[in-house]
Amino acid sequence: MMYPFLTLNDDTEITHSEMKANGTVKVYIETPNDDGGFSNATCWLPEYKWENISGYSESQIEYFKHLLRNNAHLIIEFSQEGGLLNAANS
């Protein structure tokens, strides 16, 4: 299951999984593009392992890397609590 974490002004959606048994969390980033499709990328925390990057420029990926480094602690916490909405209602 993927949980919503953040929506940016350009409609980029950042979602995350529950924490896996091995302690990792999948973060998925998706942005609608002008062609009716999506740019997307996956990052695995806490290793910050990036994969399946499609449609993003190097500067966009650098922005997302910075954003995730600043928020990884929250994503990891929420991944153990059923997402942001469940954590907020605790």
Domain ranges for the chain = 2-81
> What's the longest Cα–Cα distance across the chain?
41
Each residue's pLDDT tens digit, 2-27 = 999 999 999 999 999 999 999 999 99
Residue length of the chain: 90
Confidence at residue 80, expressed as pLDDT on a 0 to 100 scale? 86
Strand ranges in the chain using DSSP code E only, listed in sequence order: 2-7, 13-17, 25-32, 38-45, 49-54
pTM: 0.88
- d(C-alpha 10, C-alpha 81), whole Å: 28
Q: In what order do the strands lie in the sheet with 49-54?
A: 2-7, 13-17, 25-32, 38-45, 49-54
Confidence at residue 85, expressed as pLDDT on a 0 to 100 scale? 61
